[in-house]
Amino acid sequence: MDNIYDIINNRSSCRSFSDREVSDECLEKILNAACKSPSAGGFQAYSIIKIKNSKTKKKLAELCRNQMFIEKAPVCLLFCIDYRRIKKICDVLPAPCEAINNFMDFWMAVLSTAICAHTACLAAEAENLKSVYVGNIINTVDKVSELLNIPKYVCPSVMVVLGYPKSIPAMSEKYNRTVLVHDEKYKDIEIDSLINEYENKYENWNMKPTKKLVDNIYDTCLRYDGIEMAEKFRSNALNFNKISAYQFWFGYYYLKQDDFLDLSGYVNYMKKQGFKWLE
């Protein structure tokens, strides 16, 4: 595939890969493309760790909330924010290196790293590979760093898992462009239209309100928003005989547990890595 629009429009996340290996030549093309990405200041404050070793992939799968498809994928690319090279050069030249201490450079590094990762994803599509991001890598950074010898001034940011797909994964539903694009100025969408767009997007989402789901989401509502929201949720779920996407994701999956949402572990890890970004 080589038309850029075909590549973008046919991209979909893949979580099931065939045994076919990804050749070194192919991987090289993808990584060369990724390293051509734009970056804030042109600093290229990122590194990519290429992982093919089965034992390492198994460990990574376990460290990413047991997403075991990671183990089965031929290649993992770990994208890290990396100010190590910059810091080392600044120490010797010498030049001030305030970049490791301020929020702006943190933000710029995250953006640059993500752009690099997505360039790799699109290049992979051009090679008839499929990929998926794994964001959960940041929940266990200490262990990931130990596993991959990640030194000071480097922080894992996101992982991309790729390979040849077992079958072409279904395209996920997306919001209509008109929901996302504003003409000249921001225009808020009326709540009825918004709900309509949401219902359209998740038209095929079909999750039944089992007791376990309802009880758990009820508890989350209670904890985050109070009894009124909890009761409103329960009667909505039972009336419509359905758990909606946001009820599931925000009420059941993404929870303030084990340091999952506030990422205090990641903030502490960054300090240990030499960054004062968020202080």
Ligand X SMILES: Cc1cc2nc3c(=O)[nH]c(=O)nc-3n(C[C@H](O)[C@H](O)[C@H](O)COP(=O)(O)O)c2cc1C
User: Is the backbone peptide bond immediately before 209 cis, with ω within 30 degrees of 0?
Assistant: no
Q: Which residue has the tokens 């996340």?
A: 13
Q: Does 67 help bind ligand X (rule: CB under 6 A)? A: yes
How near is the Cβ of 53 to ligand X at its closest, in Å?
A: 20
42 half-sphere exposure, CB direction, 13 A CA radius: 0
Query: Which of 138, 4, 129 has the alpha carbon at shortest distance from 64?
Result: 138
Write each residue from 164 to 203 as x if it is in contact with ligand X (CB under 6 A), else as -, in one continuous string.
--------x-------------------------------
CA–CA separation, 191 and 187 (whole Å):
12
How far apart are CB 76 and ligand X at their closest, in Å? 12
Kindly identify the residues of this chain, within the stretch 149-168, that bind ligand X according to CB under 6 A: 158
Rounded distance, CA 130 to CA 11, Å? 8
Is residue 12 involved in binding ligand X (CB under 6 A)?
Answer: yes
Report if residue 119 touches ligand X, rule: CB under 6 A: no
Which of these, 70, 63, 74, 174, lies nearest to 132 by C-alpha position? 70
Q: How far is the CB of 14 from ligand X (least distance, A)?
A: 8
Q: Shortest Cβ distance from residue 245 to ligand X (Å)?
A: 10
| Under rule CB under 6 A, residue 132 binds ligand X | yes
Which residues are at the interface with ligand X (CB under 6 A)?
Answer: 12-13, 15, 67, 132-136, 158, 172
